[in-house]
Structure 1
Amino acid sequence: MTAVVRRVIRMGIVEILAGCGSRRHRGRSATLRWCDLFGCVNDNGGKRGRLVKGGPMVRIASAWIVLAGFAVAQAQVNVQPGLSGRGARAPQAELEAPPLKDEDYCTVEGVVVDARTQAPIRKAAVVLVGVGEANRGGAGGISDASGRFVIGRVPPGRYQISLQRNGYASNSGRAGAAGNPASLTLSPGEHLKGLVLRMTPAAVISGRVVDEDGEPVAWARVTAMQYRYLRGKRQLVPAGGATTDDRGEYRIFGLAPGRYWVSAAWTDREMGLRPLVRARTPDRIAYPDIYYPGALEPEQAAPVPVRAGEERGGIDFRLWPAQAVTLSGRLVQPGSERTVRGVMMMIAPRTRLDFVGPVSRRFAQVDPSTGRFTLTNVRPGSHVLTAVYRDGENTLYARQEIEVGASDIEGIELVLAPGITVQGRVEIDKGGADLVKLDEMRVLLQAEDQEAPFFGMSDGRVKADGSFELRNLSPGRYTIRLARLPEGSYLKSARLGDQEVLASGLMLTSSGGFLTLMVSPFGGQVDGTVLDAEKKPAAGATVVLVPEENKRHREDLFFQQTTDQNGRFSFRGVPPGDYQVFAWDKVEPGAWRDPAFLERYEEDGVKLSVKGRSQELAELKLLRTEETDL
């Protein structure tokens, strides 16, 4: 669910809620949305629709959005009790609970104000997004001229709060942003009043891009990025972007206060629209991506700090040409004479494959009649060519590492190979069969390989007898997840044949195998409250449950949640073991996966020993992060 929430918020949550009504996407807007990229999931059976069709530019844009949004979604696997990787669902008895009575619905009333001036903000969208598989609903309202809003008929449960308003930074995905509670817990029939939500004026970064002669560069892509922890690594992730106009000028708006690393990249305006990508210049030069104030690598770049409401101008770039070559070849589909229409193909520096920013990858087109491709203006170095081709229900993959020198390379052959199929079965731990409904689950395999975001996530629905099938997998290592588990359950083990692979990851080569997943409905529970320095409940704090040191390589054993309006948190479905629990006022998402970061706060964590079916209680003090940690 959280993966859905984060992507929905990134694409404009108000527009989404007003959008898909399932029948041909009622209320459809011109913006690419969830339904466009990932298929429509409607209320009539929840079946996935077809992936959006369109020209090469649509597919390229979709791929980039998937790449950025998907990588960010990876940053936090266990964000709420039973979410995302655990996808909690209430026990079967709760699943069959009767419909809510009118008196069970809740009301939320409050005011939206400017965080700096405390002045009321009108026309702010306040959206409540249900948390957990047992609460997939949502509700929202718009503030009036006095900043007040009323949201009625809200089902009881836990919700994340999203605030959107032009000229202000969105709080989406930022726990406790501007001192707000990031979530709410509503009891049946509760009428919550007096909620004060603060919005921070957005910052702007602007400047100009010119070439080596001082001429303006139009259509250059400028990206503002921030460091986030993804897949356990601290990486630059896009936070905003803009394209230069005919004067070479750009303006990136809607930024939250903070430090940004800004890059500029030359782009061909006609990229994706030509039958074949052709050389831009006859003298074989390329304009490498550049990072402010003039570095060729992000590690050498300097941050651009911005304050709330600040317009930071003068962040200028000069693009310099560098030696480049052309790569050409063809895609081969063994045993088939069919044309290869709709192939997605990219090239990326091998050392930068794990970089999430849009400047590290370039997409190419493939001539559908011949399978031939041409990549121009490629800089020397180590690169990886990858391609994916969907042929009906089957997906073919190709991958080849290539060393680029000072000369053109011709005759490259990328051989498309069929995806791998993995069959398996979900089993229930002894004594728990009556607590689990197998056909509610989905098996998710998340590729750990660096180019994985290009290919996405594979998932398979579990049948009533526990069997499942995962198709069209590319070779590589995968992390195993189960979505829509009953609340309080966890994935206990995963075996490929006789080999345990839950902790080490599932490694697929040229063949699949039989995967057996063991689910235990007897996970532990950790509840508690976070108190600030004045012993008052701290709303919007980030609470993280961290496993013992020798298990910290396992992402599935980390749990994260933000405290509700009463400073409370609750983790369910926690595998038995030893943990520490921390609460921070503000922290980069995923920073707790960094051993150096955790070491600074090791003595401040509360130690817990979680057993099956146990409930552990903890009262936490709010930790203030150092400025160097942000």
Structure 2
Amino acid sequence: MYSWQSSGKDKLLAYARGNHNLDRLLSMKLYFLLFATVLGAMGQTAQTGTANSNPSSAGGSAAFLGTVVDAAGKPLEGVHVTLTVFGERRLFFGRNPVAIYSSLTNEKGRFSIPEVPPRSYEVALEKRGYLMAPSEASNRGPVSGDHVQLKAGERFTDVVLHMARRAIITGRLLGEYGEPLAGARVSAKPAGSIEGGWETAMTDDHGEFRLSLLPGKYLVAADASSHMPADAHPSGNKGNYQFTYFPGVATDKEASLVEALPGGVTGDIDFKAIWVATYTVKVEVTGIPESSGSLFIHYTGKEGSGSHSQTVDAKDGRASMLIGPWPAGTYRLTASYRFGETELQSRPTDVTVATSDVQGILLPLAPGWNWMARLKSKAAKRRWNRSNAQYC
């Protein structure tokens, strides 16, 4: 009895000591995390404080003053003008502003940011019902796009920034059978713009979208490729929606332009996304050596060019690969197999995809070239050319 009580008491004491040590360990970890958080906050505050400190201490300040006008050149009152410095981009959190300098325009459209540290800033204009106009439509002086580089001692006092009345385009994106497509991306691009410039909105549960734009004429297009899995189409066919231009055409040359009016709403831009059935191609490659290597199937065709690859260990010299899915069309296929420093290739084979999956495409491999030896040969040739350049 005594032995049992003593043993139980010892166990309880040991358990209590263990829990006490565990509590101390957890408390130390908690204090450490709290200390690290405070240090991080102090570091962020210090960074922000440095950016907002007296500019004269950095070897001279810069000045950014000017006027904000509308499309007709009329001064705009109540525009919030900001110069922002962003910190480094952080994973999952984007970029945080570490310094913001701002001014509100008066009845004459004038703004004044007289003293800022010399550095690069992002310029933003905010006024309800208006958007900042593109750089080519403004006499902005030092402003390029939405950025400005200010140097020590520079004083820009007559910068002119432009804004335009916001224009709205609304509509619905529909599927092949008239059903609304939710979660699709609808974009608008200014007519005549070669690169970039797409403004994007997502469709809601009713397939409706709303684009907020500068006034002008636009190409409107939709990407619903991720809307519906291949086996969920009402017809039962495998396939997907392709990139579609308003009013439901496949290329920008066939598209109709949509005009967005200043301060107005252009509605009823409804169109159907184009559904395209797709098919797979099963390829069998022969002549593979009895060694583990990488098998590639290269293709060119309607969907552009690319390759499929997989690692194979063909004991019988054969391996198969399922490639695609692709829409109907003709595709040129070539197989290549790499092991060590050697590559084997097949002859190009044209395959026509029509209304069903394609089976039994045979691609026999033939000796290709020793690509590592070729690289070494080219490197040796370059070294020889460099060493003998003085005699040329």
TM-score w.r.t. structure 1 length?
A: 0.35
In the alignment, the residues of structure 1 paired with residue 301 and residue 162 of structure 2 have an alpha-carbon distance, to the nearest angstrom, of 41
- Match in the other structure for 1:203: 167
Aligned residue in 1 for 2:124: 163
Matched, 1:379 2:327: yes
Once residues 132 and 307 of structure 2 are traced to their aligned partners in structure 1, the CA distance between those partners, rounded to angstroms, is: 34
* Equivalence for 2:214: 256
- Which structure is higher in helix share? 2
Alpha-carbon offset, residue 279 of structure 1 = 6.4
* Corresponding residue SS for 1:245: coil
1:177 to 137, 147, 158: 137
1:594 aligns with none
1:466-615 to structure 2, matched below 5 A, reads 514=382
Whether 1:119 and 2:76 are equivalent positions in the alignment is: yes
In structure 2, C-alpha distance between the alignment counterparts of 1:203 and 1:164, rounded to whole Å:
16
Q: In structure 2, what is the Cα distance between the partners aligned to 1:327 and 1:118?
A: 63
Q: Which residue identity does 1:326 align to in structure 2?
A: T
1:219 is aligned with what amino acid?
G
Q: Is the Cα contact below 8 Å between 1:113 and 1:197 reproduced in 2? A: yes
Match of 2:62 in 1: 106
Report the AA paired with residue 205 of structure 2: D
1:108 aligned partner, one-letter code? F
- The alpha-carbon deviation at position 208 of structure 1 amounts to 0.6
Deviation at 1:317, TM superposition (A): 0.3
Cα-Cα RMSD:
5.6
Q: How many Å separate the matches in 2 of 1:200 and 1:383?
A: 48
Kindly name which structure, 1 or 2, has the bigger radius of gyration based on alpha carbons: 2
Q: Distance in 2 between matches of 1:279 and 1:375?
A: 18
Alignment match, 1:349 = 302
Q: Match of 1:143, SS?
A: strand
Correspondent of 1:190 among 144, 149, 154: 154
2:225/2:240 contact within 8 Å kept: no
Query: CA 1:285–1:197 in structure 2 vs 1: closer, same or farther (change >3 Å)?
Result: closer
- Cα distance in 2 for partners of 1:311, 1:346 equals 45
**How much has 1:143 moved relative to structure 2?**
3.2
Q: How does 1:27-426 map to 2 (within 5 A)?
A: 102-115=58-71, 118-126=75-83, 141-144=101-104, 146=106, 148-150=111-113, 152-155=115-118, 162-165=123-126, 168-171=130-133, 174-181=134-141, 182-183=143-144, 188-226=152-190, 235=194, 237=196, 239-253=198-212, 255-269=213-227, 280=233, 282-284=236-238, 286-319=240-273, 321-327=275-281, 349-350=302-303, 375-376=324-325, 378-381=326-329, 404-410=353-359
Q: Report what 1:576 is aligned to.
A: none
Structure 1 residues 263 and 348, CA, compared in 2 at 3 Å: closer, same or farther? farther
Counterparts of 1:127 and 1:316, CA distance in 2: 39
The one-letter code matched in structure 1 to 2:265 is: E
Amino acid at match of 2:245: Y
Aligned residue for 2:165, secondary structure, equals: coil
Structure 1 residue 196 displacement after superposition: 3.5
C-alpha deviations, 1:48-69, integer Å up to 9, x for none? xxxxxxxxxxxxxxxxxxxxxx
**How many residues get paired?**
283
Q: For 1:288-321, what per-residue CA distance to the aligned partner results, in whole angstroms no more than 9, with x for missing partners? A: 4432223232211121122333322111102454
Once residues 356 and 70 of structure 2 are traced to their aligned partners in structure 1, the CA distance between those partners, rounded to angstroms, is 58
Matched position secondary structure for 2:253? helix
AA in 1 matched with 2:185: R
SS at match of 1:259: strand
Whether contact under 8 Å (2:173, 2:272) holds in the other structure is yes
Question: SS at the partner of 2:211?
Answer: strand
Q: Find the residue that maps to 1:176 and give its secondary structure.
A: helix
Structure 2 gaps, min length 5: 1-39, 45-55, 87-97, 314-319, 334-348, 366-370, 387-392
Q: Matched residues in 2 for 1:279 and 1:179: separation?
A: 53
The residue that corresponds to 2:48 in the other structure is: none
Task: Note the residue ranges of structure 1 that are not aligned, 5 or more in a row.
Answer: 1-22, 28-99, 130-137, 230-234, 272-276, 339-344, 354-360, 386-399, 424-496, 498-510, 518-630
Aligned 8 A contact 1:112 1:121 in 2: no
Counterpart Cα distance in 2 of 1:124 and 1:287:
42
Q: Which amino acid aligns with 1:197?
A: L
Amino acid at match of 2:357: D
> Aligned partners of 2:300, 2:226: CA distance in 1, in Å?
16
> Structure 1 residues 251 and 104, CA, compared in 2 at 3 Å: closer, same or farther?
same
Q: 1:260 to 1:242 in 2, by over 3 A?
A: same
Q: What is the one-letter code of the residue matched to 2:223?
A: A
Equivalent pair of 1:207/1:314 in contact (CA under 8 Å): yes
Structure 2 Cα separation of the partners of residues 513 and 247 of structure 1: 64
Q: Distance in 2 between matches of 1:309 and 1:223?
A: 20
Q: For the structure 1 residues 286 and 122, does the alpha-carbon distance in structure 2 shift closer, same or farther, using more than 3 Å as the test? A: same
1:478 — aligned with what? none
Distance 2:59 2:113 in 1: 17
Kept in 1, the 8 Å contact 2:58–2:117? The answer is no
Shift of 1:240: 1.3
Q: Using the alignment, how far apart are the partners of 1:404 and 1:295 within structure 2? A: 22
Q: Which has the higher contact order (CA 8 A, sep 6+)?
A: 1
1:408: how far off?
1.5
Contact 1:202-1:257 at 8 Å conserved across structures: yes
Residue aligned with 2:198, SS: strand
Residues 382, 206 of structure 1: alpha-carbon distance in 2 compared, 3 angstrom cutoff: farther
- 2:186 and 2:382 map into 1 onto residues whose CA distance is 46
Inter-CA distance 192–317: structure 2 relative to 1 (3 Å threshold): same
Tell me, in whole angstroms, the C-alpha distance in 2 between the residues paired with 1:140 and 1:349.
Answer: 50
CA distance in 1 between counterparts of 2:284 and 2:113 reads: 59
